[in-house]
Amino acid sequence: MSTVPQNGKRLLRALAGECLEMPPIWLMRQAGRYLPEYRALRARSGSFLELCLTPTLAAEVTLQPIRRYGFDGAILFSDILVVPYGLTQPVAFREGEGPVLDRLIGVADLQRLNRLGFRERVAPVGETVRLVRRALPDDVALIGFAGSPWTVATYMIEGGSSRDFGRVKRWLYRDPAGFAALIDILVDATTEYLDWQVEMGAEVIQLFESWAGVLAAPAFERWVIEPNARIVQRLRERNPTIPVILFPRGAGANYLAASEAVRTAGLGLDTTVPLDWARQVLQPRHALQGNLDPQVLVVGGDALATEVARIRSALAGGPYIFNLGHGVLPETPPEHVAELVRLTRT
């Protein structure tokens, strides 16, 4: 974190280690159901997956929150489950139910995943990246993303969201070699997918490890740290300057091991991470990102002002990026988001 450029996009400056008085801001799930213009467009488009795979519409949705709020970063509008789709696993999103996948039951099912043609099946996402990059204001950085292998594997094996991760955990304990074969497929596909997003114009990459918080420490080491480290290393071999943000949500004390082993420019903090500890232990190694509780953004008012001030004063001594500790909730009043942006720019 020695390069300290004095100009350029604020999000990239923070990721390069610069300490900015007013932190750059973007929000996970900044495009989505809390925005009336998203709901209107969604009602006119087909399925959610079709929306993700229609570049003109996905680009428009990516730009909606940029126009409304002037965030410092635009996150590509897509979903982490585009990768299983690209590997030919059937994926659908059902209203009120979330994602539904034709689940993998055992190692024999890995043969049903097809790496051939992966690039062609996810090609519309690359086109979205290109369209957004062309349309973005000069001071806004484009963030590409993918789910991390462990998190994506949970959906592929559970067949959707899960409460206890029973199926995927039983698989990895019963048959670690078979599970490793799935993780290897995901490491390869994810690296190719991200490499291509960078080629098409992504300037930052975020890895969403949303279910980092459900594994025992040795399993965390093997199935969270190791695959993410491989992706970051390979991505860097091909794109030496690309800043990566790892978001190992819920990792708790395992944040330390993740920070030591996966040397990303940015580290995303979930809402529970104590900021004094993060400042002392993690901030010397990364630009930190986070970690406002999304429920505080639903509440707004004094609670929002108090929490924003607390987070800013805790992290202001080093590089950081203002964000939530998880995604914007659908019930969030859009005017609270405008107020949040204002609070970070005074």
Catalytic residue among 72, 79, 195, 293: 79
Q: At what angle do helices 55-69 and 36-44 cross, to 10 degrees?
A: 170
115 in active site? no
In the complex, minimum distance from the CB of residue 27 to ligand CP3, in angstroms, rounded to a whole number: 7
Q: Residue 280 phi/psi, 5° resolution?
A: -75, -40
Ranked by CB distance to ligand CP3, the top (closest) residue is 210
Q: Which is nearer to ligand CP3, 23 or 144 (CB)?
A: 144
138 in active site? no
Q: Which is nearer to ligand CP3, 90 or 317 (CB)?
A: 90
155 in active site? yes
C-alpha 48 chain-centroid distance: 18
Q: Which is nearer to ligand CP3, 130 or 283 (CB)?
A: 130
Distance CA 289, CA 282 (A): 11
**64 contacts: CB under 8 Å, gap ≥ 6:** 31, 35, 37, 38, 41
222 in active site? no
What does each C-alpha distance from 166 to 158, 169, 174 come to in angstroms? 8, 5, 12
Tracing tokens 């990459």 back to the chain, one arrives at 205
Catalytic residue among 34, 38, 85, 155: 155
3-class secondary structure, 145: strand
**60 contacts: CB under 8 Å, gap ≥ 6:** 41
In the complex, minimum distance from the CB of residue 143 to ligand CP3, in angstroms, rounded to a whole number: 9
Question: Contact positions toward ligand CP3, by CB under 6 A?
Answer: 28-33, 42, 48, 75, 77, 79-81, 93, 98-99, 145, 147, 161, 208, 210, 327
33 in active site? yes
Q: Which is nearer to ligand CP3, 75 or 215 (CB)?
A: 75
In the complex, minimum distance from the CB of residue 121 to ligand CP3, in angstroms, rounded to a whole number: 18
Active site residues: 29, 33, 42, 79, 155
